[in-house]
Amino acid sequence: MDRIRNVSCFSKLNDEQLEKLKKISVIKKYHAKEILFYEGDAPIYLYVLLQGTLKVYKTNHKGQQIFLHQFYPGGLVAELANFENIPYPATAEFMSDSEVLRIDYKALEKDFFKNPEISFEIIKSLIAKHKILIDVIQKEVILTADAKVAKFILENEELFKTLKNTQVASILNLTPETLSRTLSKFKSSGFIELDEKHNIRVLSPEKLEEIL
């Protein structure tokens, strides 16, 4: 019950409400590279990522993945599909071993959506997703490859310790070769320090900012 209470949407529920929510929920474990849902699947459950990392992507007509977003513990996943009752517009794949709270959406809607705290948290989550969409559009339409890498380094420096170059390239919708060239360029220019273990340290954040 404590793990459910730690989710911001449900933190204000009393013990009786939490017990009721527990009856329509289950915590599931997943391994890296497992799929939570595919693009086009019907949204039966509301998902909350409790542990691990999850990426959401679309597949183009050439079969290439177009990265949209990466989820971290505590957030609702693709809840708009539930609210609009539309098929999932993208595929969700785990990037590491993870745990997910899976909630029967119809039961949640019937018994909990009149709760103002839950409604407010859901609205906040939807607003956050709108900002994510704007960021995706900006990244794909406006930013150059150098700018994409610079932005990712500034915002996700710690991720370089846990992700491989191929994974980072996938997130940025770049080829691994383009990412490697860009990192080498930043390193030789003195913007970053990068060791063999893939640990990265920003030496000149202002120079990376200029690229943006």
Which of 116-120, 123-127, 176-180, 191-195 is the least confident region?
123-127
Q: Which amino acid is at 144?
A: T
pTM as predicted: 0.63
| Alpha-carbon gap, residue 60 to 83, rounded angstroms | 25
| Alpha-carbon gap, residue 179 to 73, rounded angstroms | 27
Which of 57-61, 94-98, 132-136, 165-169 is the least confident region?
132-136
Task: Please say whether the beta carbons of 18 and 4 come within 8 A.
Answer: yes
Q: Tens of pLDDT along 150-166?
A: 888 888 777 777 778 88
| Alpha-carbon gap, residue 75 to 153, rounded angstroms | 22
Distances (CA, A) of 206 to 6, 198, 209: 37, 22, 5
Q: Tens of pLDDT along 46-62?
A: 999 999 999 988 887 77
What is the SS3 assignment for the chain? CHHHHCCHHHCCCCHHHHHHHHHCEEEEEECCCCEEECCCCCCCEEEEEEECCEEEEEECCCCCEEEEEEECCCCEECHHHHHHCCCCCCEEEECCCEEEEEEEHHHHHHHHCCCHHHHHHHHHHHHHHHHHHHHHHHHHHCCCHHHHHHHHHHHCHHHHHCCCHHHHHHHHCCCHHHHHHHHHHHHHCCCEEECCCCCEEECCHHHHHHHC
